[in-house]
């Protein structure tokens, strides 16, 4: 996994068109190959990452491999502890 080099934000990615374990592996490979991203978790349809660019590079990398995505900064001010795949709901 790549380590972020600048100040980072925890980002929730909503990833579309994922339907199986192969999709999870493809998404993992794409994100791992993207500089400046630290993967915290990946599951069908979502990922939690740390990134210094608001998730723009992750969204671009996923789009390039056929998985459109939306990045949303996680609001740690609402009690979210981070590190899980809840998308900021816990």
Instruction: Pinpoint the alpha helices (H) of the chain.
Output: 21-32, 56-64
For the segment 49-88, what is each residue's pLDDT rounded down to a tens digit?
999 999 999 999 999 999 999 999 997 654 454 555 565 5
Task: Please tell me the distance from the alpha carbon of residue 35 to that of residue 79, in angstroms, as a whole number.
Answer: 29
Helix (H) or strand (E) holding 13: strand 9-15
Q: What is the pLDDT of residue 81?
A: 47
pLDDT (mean) for 6-24? 94
86 φ, ψ (degrees, to nearest 5): -75, -10
Return the CATH number of the domain spanning residue range 9-76.
3.30.70.100
pTM for the predicted model, two decimal places:
0.77
Sketch the domain layout of the chain as residue ranges. 9-76
- Cα separation, 17 vs 56, in Å, equals 18
More confident residue, 15 or 86: 15
Q: What is the pLDDT of residue 3?
A: 55
């Amino acid at each position: 996994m790549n380590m972020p080099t600048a100040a980072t934000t925890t980002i929730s990615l909503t990833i579309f068109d994922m339907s199986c374990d192969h999709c999870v592996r493809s998404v993992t490979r794409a994100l791992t190959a993207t500089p400046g991203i630290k993967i915290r978790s990946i599951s069908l349809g979502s990922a939690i990452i740390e990134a210094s660019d608001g998730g723009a590079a992750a969204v671009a990398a996923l789009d390039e491999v056929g998985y459109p995505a939306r990045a949303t900064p996680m609001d740690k001010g609402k009690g979210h502890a981070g590190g899980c795949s809840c998308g900021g709901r816990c």
